Structure 1
Amino acid sequence: MPHSDGHRYRDWVLFKRVLVHLKPYSSLVALAILLLLAVSVLNLAGPYLTKVVIDDHIKAGDLKGLDVIAAVYLSVLVFSFIFQFCQTYLMQVIGQKVMFDLRSKVFAHLHKMSFSYFDRNPIGRMITRVVNDVEVLNEMLTSGLILVFSDLFTLFGIFCVMFYLDWRLTLVVCIVFPFLATATRMYRVRARDALRRNRIHVSELNSYLEENISGVDTVQCFNRETKNYKKFSSINGERLKEDLRTVKYNAFYMPSIDFFSSLAIAMVFWYGGGRFVQDEIQLGILVAFIQYLQKFFEPIRDLAEKFNIIQTAMASSERIFELLDTPEQIPESVPSKNDFKLQGAVEFKNVWFSYKEERFILKGLSFYLEAGESLAIVGATGSGKSTIINALCEFYDIAKGDILFDGRSIKEINKYDLRKQIALVQQDVFLFSGSILENIRLGNPQMGQDEIESISQTVNSHNFISNLPLKYEQKLNQGEISSGQRQLLSFARALVAEPKILVLDEATSNVDLETERQIQQGIKEMTRGRTSIIIAHRLSTLMHVDKVLVLRNGEVLEFGKRKELLQQKGIFYQL
């Protein structure tokens, strides 16, 4: 997801797509709009009531009429408060619901992306999409979009009332409108660019912050604190620059509204006052006109503030919809089957694979495993060992060739069904927040605790778990258990998933020699009856495998049964 250039989506397209997410709550939105219109109408009543009081009751000395107008005015205030409370509450509820829907949609879409997508996009940038950008859209829905309609309706209503009261005075006021429109257009163009750039810098800040926090041990180990601080300050400074641009434009635009407002009122005093002196206009109309004029410029000032919200939201929505419009690199075209099972036979047929176009990591790779056989993959760093696993689990799509499971092409198998049949134990084990039991049950939530404890004993993780204060209910936080213990938990987690194919990718690299001796028998139990693929540098881990595949630069140097390769005294024998 590269940085948006800001011209991929037109504003009206973004606006339409945002409105689509309001459709499930259309009845609530309609009610909120009705309440807004009611509040706007009630707000128009105040100056008109002032006009009636002055011209019809104060001049005539009608005290009873004053009592009636006071009661009406109080009623207007009470109903305006009630309607405004209901409208505000409704819009907050709608905004929260839409924000929930959008975040869920973005989260679900991210999990459909292949590994290549995450290779190209920093985690901090994706966090910005799910958290910050969605929050900005919520602010637009609750404080911007609907209230803009209210302001526009108020402006139209005030203009109509002023025109009804005195059309000549209204035309005089209209002289300032072209100047106000020009200032607004200049502000809109410049503020939009500054706000868009600001969102880009927010994303860069989050990405760099996440990177530095995740790698804080490396930062401190290599004394990078000062250099990284300077780089962070540079990114932060770019954001500050755009913030100051926005402040400068606001500092110009807001006083200009006040200037034109004062100019319009001055023109009313000049022209309207002259007509009042000549008895061509009533005092109540003149007072009401000035009050309406003051109210007229309030929505314009609000529109400027809401414009900032809407423009920021447009920039955020560009980025959200850019993510949602990113297609799956490996789209799911095969329907899932509840009863899908594998026997475990695996065949690579002339497989070519590259992370980047034409830079192939695997080059015409072919090998075959019977169901239940075990395979050791050996080779130098960068030879393509882990890439085989990525292709096997369909984390990436292969460029050429095919991978067969029980004689069926990987393209004919639902990728989620396939992954349910494969358990992967990696060198770097990731454990989720939660209890040890929840982490072990990750691939099979229905398995009972007795069975889980039995499997844990098989891989020698039960002993250290039993020594924890809460045993299997112990909550996990970083640093509470050692790397070796995390590895043992990953063994248990793999077996609990009851896979037909087991993959161990440098799975004993974080285990000391003593612990490795303890789990050698466990690995033997893990691989029994399952097709197993083991990547390891420690030859002791490969003592019981059936076949060996020797790789160099993505090509097969040797492949065959372990004992036969040793007898041939070739490359594997020399290892």
Structure 2
Amino acid sequence: MLKNYVRFLIKYLCRFKLMLLGILLLSVLSSAINLLIPYTSSLLFDSGIIPGNISIIIKISIVMALLSIIKFIVKYYGQVAHAQLSVKFTTSIKKDMYSHLLRLPMKYFDKNHKGYLLSRIDEVDALSVLFSSAIFDFFAAMVTATGAFVYILNKSWMLLIISFVFLPFFYFLTRASLNRIHITSREIYEVNATTKGKLQESIEGIQELKQLNNEEKTFKELTNQVNRIARKIIQQSKFAAMGTEGVSLLLNISQIIITLTIGLLIVRNRLSIGDYVALTQYILLLYAPVQLIAAFSMTIQPGLVALDRVSSILQVDIEENETGIKIDAIRSVEFKDVSFKYEESENKIFQKINFIVEKNENVAIQGINGSGKTTIIKILLGLYRDYEGDIEINGINLKEINISSLRESVGIVSQNVILFSGTLLENIKMSNPNISELHLENLMDIFQDKMFKDIDPYSLVLNEKANNLSGGQKQKVAILRAFAKNPDLLIFDEATSNLDLASKAFLEEAIKKFFNNKICIIITHEEEISRIADRILEIVDGVIIEKKYDKVISGGRS
């Protein structure tokens, strides 16, 4: 697991090599200053204070003051650099997370609640602890500890041995605390993600929640989750306190014993007062890495857990076949013995269905709810790729086609219309950002006269989920958005249920006019819309049958 952590971190840190190098150089400079300060303190006593040499006292004091100022400057810029690296590191991962999530297959979203996934993205912020100043302070402390080791060994090997006797106790105490903190951190993240998912679900369905008079029950469920998180956090704090305070206790005991030993050596004239001043500081420097690693290892645990959870998402395979064959138009769609079932289901939605739709053809697909009508469209768009059989676009296997180029050629209007915050015009242009102003104006003029008499598409600003539009208005916007794309394949998935008769009649004429030489697939229960179809396919018990032509209401393409 540690190797995976390191590989993941190196991948991102390589993007900031110069900044990282600068921080390391500042750490080395800080270490050198830390090593000089105890030595100058020793000189101050042995060469200045004890002999009574005022000139030496003043000179060394000035040197110590300058060292302190330089140390302040180095530490300041080091802290700023740490903060910049931390922000850039987490921002870089967040961008990759956004990009990766948007390209994950639909089955991943089927398994995970939206709120849960949003919480997982928020966990990226916890990675900032991995690049707090503590980790670079530890690097600097290791350098100073090496210098302190040499100095103490030169003065008294006995003191060095006493200092090292306590190290195994530090290790085992820290290790025990870390294991417990790691476990509770993982539990906290998981419960928090689940709670956020539940909360988002409740807010999105607040109207239904109120209609069912279910607010109190939902509140109790959320309260139980929040209380569970609180208990885990308190438990984690206890483990962290035991670790950090236990380390402090061991340090205090070791310093008392070391001070006693130094005192005895001074009495026996084996060390000077200056040595005492320097040694007590160098021993603190020797122990500094132990203190830092103990404190940092405990604070880093949530970051390591977040690192594991974040990297696990980034390792999920994305759906797009970016290296596939790009298509410039859709001239035919053919399903050959296609069978499919959702991952969580035991039964197939449909099995060995066969049909072909070609250019200059309207086809309606009918069937009872749950028969798989919408699933056919999802598979056709490459949202699910684990189907059996073959799907061919222009005679090319769908799995060999570049999905992005396929979707560029498809316009779809769903029953559950999704519109985004912003102007109505911005929503329309989302399907085709490069649409010419002339083409857009022509479409708007045609649609506004027939379908948008009650709203101004040029000035209207949509709120969240476009709640300031009716269901019928939303469907009209979605239809116009699909027309603005000018696709080779236009799909209506129960997309006219909220339209009035006049709007449906206009839509029929618009399809005939704008898509006369293209492909149109209509999923519907409504006879008014079915009458523009050249053929009607019906899904019955998981297979497709074609209705006899005389059952199609007159009015298909001429």
- With normalisation by structure 2, the TM-score equals 0.92
1:492 paired residue number? 480
Tell me which of 297, 301, 313 is aligned to 2:291.
301
SS of 2:458's equivalent? helix
Deviates more, 1:351-360 or 1:79-88: 351-360
SS of 2:132's equivalent? helix
- Partner Cα distance (2:359, 2:106) in 1: 28
Q: Which amino acid aligns with 2:473?
A: Q
Tell me which of 44, 47, 55 is aligned to 2:38.
47
Structure 2: gaps of 5 or more residues: none
Tell me which of 198, 206, 209 is aligned to 1:208.
198
- Partner Cα distance (1:546, 1:411) in 2: 28
1:261 paired residue number? 251
2:208 paired residue number? 218
* Residues 54 and 22 (structure 1), Cα distance of their counterparts in 2 relative to 1, 3 Å cut: same
| 8 A contact 1:422–1:502 mirrored in 2 | yes
1:327-363 deviation line (CA, Å, top 9, x unaligned)? 23564441436xx2223x2222221111127521121
- Partner Cα distance (2:91, 2:291) in 1: 31
* CA positional deviation for 1:181: 2.1
SS of 2:246's equivalent? helix
Tell me which of 465, 476, 498 is aligned to 2:462.
476
Matched, 1:99 2:90: yes
Residues 271-350 of structure 1 aligned to structure 2 (within 5 Å)? 271-328=261-318, 331-336=321-326, 340-343=328-331, 345-350=332-337
1:426 paired residue number? 414
2:430 paired residue number? 442
Residues 95-494 of structure 1 aligned to structure 2 (within 5 Å)? 95-130=86-121, 132-328=122-318, 331-336=321-326, 340-343=328-331, 345-356=332-343, 359-460=347-448, 464=452, 467-468=455-456, 471-478=457-464, 479-494=467-482
* CA positional deviation for 1:309: 3.5
Matched, 1:29 2:20: yes
SS of 1:360's equivalent? coil
1:511 paired residue number? 499
Deviates more, 1:274-283 or 1:457-466: 457-466
* CA positional deviation for 1:465: 7.9
* Residues 403 and 224 (structure 1), Cα distance of their counterparts in 2 relative to 1, 3 Å cut: same
- Partner Cα distance (2:51, 2:346) in 1: 93
Among all aligned residue pairs of Structure 1 and Structure 2, give the percentage whose two residues are the same amino acid. Answer: 26
Deviates more, 1:46-55 or 1:173-182: 173-182
1:416-441 deviation line (CA, Å, top 9, x unaligned)? 11111110100111112332222111
* CA positional deviation for 1:219: 2.0
* CA positional deviation for 1:91: 2.4
* Residues 409 and 92 (structure 1), Cα distance of their counterparts in 2 relative to 1, 3 Å cut: same
* Residues 194 and 156 (structure 1), Cα distance of their counterparts in 2 relative to 1, 3 Å cut: farther
- Partner Cα distance (2:200, 2:185) in 1: 23
RMSD: 2.4
* Residues 207 and 305 (structure 1), Cα distance of their counterparts in 2 relative to 1, 3 Å cut: farther
- Partner Cα distance (1:287, 1:389) in 2: 79
SS of 2:418's equivalent? coil
- Partner Cα distance (1:243, 1:151) in 2: 30
Tell me which of 52, 65, 68 is aligned to 1:74.
65
1:537 paired residue number? 525
Aligned pairs, how many?
Answer: 551
SS of 1:378's equivalent? strand
* CA positional deviation for 1:517: 4.6
- Partner Cα distance (1:216, 1:143) in 2: 44
SS of 1:529's equivalent? coil
* Residues 446 and 328 (structure 1), Cα distance of their counterparts in 2 relative to 1, 3 Å cut: closer
- Partner Cα distance (1:141, 1:373) in 2: 60
- Partner Cα distance (1:566, 1:30) in 2: 75
Deviates more, 1:191-200 or 1:69-78: 191-200
| 8 A contact 2:333–2:393 mirrored in 1 | yes
